[in-house]
């Protein structure tokens, strides 16, 4: 309970101070609107915000997250099985992870069109390699003594993978899933800056900035932050349920 109450109180005080400073110091609305104005804008724009969330999160983000993370996991298992594949993929993964999203997004829009599919492609690229790198590292985390014990039981590669190495890699895999939960949202929103139908969180932010509707821009930012926090929190709860035996969860 304290883990929820303390951040809530801290966040409430940030909003109170923000409101007091923006109104008391007379900060121009176009520079930083007060939280009350942002809240009023959210309440008055629920249909628009709902359509943007459906376009960005429930189409591009979720599809790209599932496909990218799943493909990264499967490729990591194959790379663990084939050392040649691992030595070839990991350096490429590190290189692709360093590519700027503003360079990848326009290419995906040209390849897959202006609808959500091009944004999902950006999300797949952004989530594939973090899952690949973390899973490969996690599969190597089990100790030599445990693997030797499995060999004394005449256990082959796949039983050892399922009963020993994947459970040992679970914290690494969930770490990649948590990283990808934020990367996916960032990737989809930024990709929408480079071409999208007249709906979407990134589209709304870019167009409302041009119209100087700063409160709407902050409303989209607040909704995106809330959605990202919920997404991350769901993954963290699933991690606690699956890896309850791990010392990081038990507190041991």
Note the pLDDT tens digit of each residue in 39-89: 999 998 899 999 999 988 888 899 999 999 999 999 988 888 887 877 777
Cα pseudo-dihedral 221, 224, 225, 231, rounded to 10: 180
Cα 224 versus chain centre, distance: 11
Per-residue model confidence (pLDDT) at position 107: 86
Exposed/middle/buried for residue 202 (C-beta within 10 Å: 0-12, 13-18, 19+): buried
By three-state DSSP, how is residue 34 classified?
A: coil
Domain extents in the chain: 51-246
For 51-246, CATH number out of 2.60.120.380, 1.10.3210.10, 1.10.3720.10, 3.90.230.10 equals: 1.10.3720.10
Per cent of the chain over pLDDT 90 is: 24
Within the chain, what is the greatest distance between any pair of CA atoms?
74
Contact 134, 91 (CB under 8 A): no
Residues 168-194 pLDDT 10s: 888 899 999 999 998 899 988 988 888
**Tens-digit pLDDT profile for residues 120-169:** 999 998 899 889 989 988 888 776 677 777 777 777 778 888 888 888 88
């Amino acid at each position: 309970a304290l883990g929820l109450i303390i951040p809530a109180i801290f966040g409430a005080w940030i909003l109170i101070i923000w409101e007091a400073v923006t109104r008391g110091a007379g900060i121009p609305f176009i520079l930083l609107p007060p939280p009350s104005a942002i809240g009023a804008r959210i309440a008055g724009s629920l249909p628009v915000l709902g359509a943007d969330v459906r376009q960005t999160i429930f189409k591009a983000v979720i599809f790209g997250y599932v496909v990218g993370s799943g493909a990264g996991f499967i490729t990591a298992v194959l790379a663990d099985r084939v050392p040649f594949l691992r030595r070839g993929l990991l350096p490429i993964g590190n290189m692709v992870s360093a590519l700027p999203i503003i360079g990848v997004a326009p290419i995906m829009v040209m390849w897959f069109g202006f609808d959500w599919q091009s944004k999902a492609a950006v999300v797949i690229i952004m989530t594939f390699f973090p899952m690949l790198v973390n899973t490969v590292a996690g599969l190597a985390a089990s100790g030599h003594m445990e693997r030797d014990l499995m060999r004394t039981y005449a256990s082959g590669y796949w039983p050892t993978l399922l009963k020993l190495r994947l459970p040992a890699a679970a914290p690494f895999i969930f770490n990649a899933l948590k990283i990808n939960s934020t990367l996916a949202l960032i990737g989809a929103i930024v990709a929408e800056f480079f071409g999208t139908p007249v709906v979407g969180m990134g589209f709304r932010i870019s167009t409302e900035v041009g119209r100087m509707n700063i409160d709407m821009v902050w409303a989209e930012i607040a909704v995106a932050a809330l959605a990202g926090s919920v997404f991350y929190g769901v993954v963290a709860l699933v991690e606690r349920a699956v890896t309850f035996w791990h010392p990081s969860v038990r507190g041991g």
